[in-house]
């Protein structure tokens, strides 16, 4: 019988550093290996997920968008909104507008842009609080 090498990727996400295995942990039994087969286990550290905007933002769009006047301004707004929202907490448009010194409509537009695939396709949650008040949160973990 010819040797066959099969590489399988398995990712385990653990909350804490662990060197112990659960009771009765045995790859041979788990994978139903024959006596002459074996498993090689390697470990590597993985950096935590850190969301990021592309270093060069794609072109914005819209009927009134004029690149020579709007691209730099909207890009700076996008980065500012992203930086503030990166805390993963809930924020109102008025809070964001005050912190960023930008109109609420602009902040709202940048939140919509963050959801677009070309700007990263980030998940931005929205919660309704009644009377037209909403809060927004950028999901910073893998989705």
CATH code of the domain covering residue 105: 1.10.10.10
**Residue 127: domain span:** 67-138
Has residue 117 been placed in a domain? Answer: yes
Has residue 80 been placed in a domain? Answer: yes
pTM above 0.75, yes or no: no
Has residue 30 been placed in a domain? Answer: no
Q: Which of 10, 1, 11 is nearest to 37 (CA)?
A: 1
Which stretches of 79-118 are assigned E, i.e. beta strand?
A: 91-92
Residues linked to residue 135 through DSSP beta bridges, in sequence order: 92, 127
Q: Whats the size of the chain, residue-wise?
A: 143
Instruction: Write the CB contacts of 135 (distance below 8 Å, at least 6 apart in sequence).
Output: 90, 91, 92, 126, 127, 129
Structural domains counted in the chain: 1
Residue-wise pLDDT for 70-114, tens only, equals 999 999 999 999 999 998 899 999 999 999 999 999 999 999 999
Has residue 85 been placed in a domain? Answer: yes
Residue-wise pLDDT for 22-66, tens only, equals 556 666 666 666 777 766 666 666 555 566 887 888 999 889 999
């Amino acid at each position: 019988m010819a040797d066959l090498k099969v590489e399988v990727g398995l990712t385990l996400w653990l909350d804490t550093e662990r060197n112990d295995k659960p009771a009765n942990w045995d790859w041979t039994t788990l994978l139903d290996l024959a006596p002459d087969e074996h498993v090689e286990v390697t470990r590597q550290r993985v950096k935590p997920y850190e969301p990021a905007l592309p270093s060069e933002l794609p072109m914005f769009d819209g009927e009134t968008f004029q690149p020579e006047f709007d691209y730099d301004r909207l890009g700076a707004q996008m980065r500012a909104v992203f930086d503030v929202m990166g805390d993963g907490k809930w924020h109102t448009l008025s809070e964001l507008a005050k912190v960023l010194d930008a109109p609420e409509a602009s902040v709202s537009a940048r939140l919509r842009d963050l959801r677009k695939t070309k700007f990263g396709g980030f998940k931005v949650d929205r919660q309704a609080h009644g009377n037209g008040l909403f809060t927004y949160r950028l999901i910073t973990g893998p989705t």
